[in-house]
Amino acid sequence: MGGPIWHAPMHDKYFVAKMLSQLNQDEAKFSTSKRIIGMLTLVNNELDIPLYLPVDQLCAKVHCNVIPLLEFRSALLNAGYHVSETHAMSNCVKTDAPMSVIWDIIRIWVKERHPVSANRLDKDDVMKNILEKVSTTTVNFNHHQDAPLPSSGLLRFQMNPTANWGPGIRGSSNSNSEWDVNQEKRKSKQNKKKQKAQNENNSLY
């Protein structure tokens, strides 16, 4: 893990709350007001913890189906820990639970919901080492009343403006266009020389 890592509070909650109040009073002021409100609501409830956990990547380590965030958050809350979203990336969580608890949750998820075959387990040492450890946390996936997100239903992360949106065709500069034209001229001259030489050779026979 690299560093340095910011460990102080990430947001001025008073400032964020004031911005939210003003935006809610006049949503029409900005064309992106809905997304701003969504992100500020997320930020206002974000834990002051430096790192976040990408749940899908953790589950990928043991090749299991991704734990739904509602169930993952419920498991953390039922175990007595805090959990929130992160402004940095969607489908991730912040929590004060230690990694031992995180892996316990994933182990129980695999054991109770999505068992891994013995053959697959033997082929992956990382997965085997993680799943064969004994869990010490009482894991409960039952829905917790605080598991739903405060920003649920709000527009948060930027969506693609159109379907299949992405980088377009790279534009060519004038210098490139001129270079292409010159190349074509050179090729044309070379072809004419070759044709002339071939005609002269044919005339000798």
Range(s) of the domain holding residue 15: 9-45
User: Is 74 contained in some domain?
Assistant: yes
> Are both 24 and 54 inside the same structural domain?
no
Per-residue model confidence (pLDDT) at position 191? 80
Beta bridge partners of 84: 94
Cβ partners under 8 Å of residue 191, min gap 6: none
What's the token pair of residue 199? Answer: 């005609």
> Are both 97 and 133 inside the same structural domain?
yes
Within 10 angstroms of residue 195's Cβ, the number of other Cβ atoms is 10
Q: Are 94 and 86 in contact (CB under 8 A)?
A: yes
> Are both 120 and 132 inside the same structural domain?
yes
> Are both 78 and 109 inside the same structural domain?
yes
Per-residue model confidence (pLDDT) at position 31? 80
> Are both 38 and 117 inside the same structural domain?
no
User: Measured between alpha carbons, how far is 130 from 107 in angstroms, rounded to an integer?
Assistant: 8
Reading the chain (205 residues) residue by residue, the pLDDT tens digits are 667 887 778 888 899 889 888 888 888 877 878 888 888 888 888 888 888 999 999 998 888 889 999 999 999 999 999 999 888 888 889 999 999 999 999 999 998 888 877 777 777 788 888 888 888 999 999 999 988 876 666 666 666 666 666 666 655 555 455 666 777 788 888 888 777 777 665 555 5
> Are both 31 and 96 inside the same structural domain?
no
Closest CA relative to residue 116, chosen from 145, 7, 107: 107
Angle between helices 69-78 and 99-112 (to 10 degrees): 120
Per-residue model confidence (pLDDT) at position 151? 65
> Are both 52 and 142 inside the same structural domain?
yes
Per-residue model confidence (pLDDT) at position 150? 67
> Are both 56 and 138 inside the same structural domain?
yes
Per-residue model confidence (pLDDT) at position 56? 92
Per-residue model confidence (pLDDT) at position 171? 56
Q: DSSP string of 40-60?
A: HHHHHT--S-S--EEHHHHHH
> Are both 65 and 22 inside the same structural domain?
no
Write the single-letter amino acid at 30. F
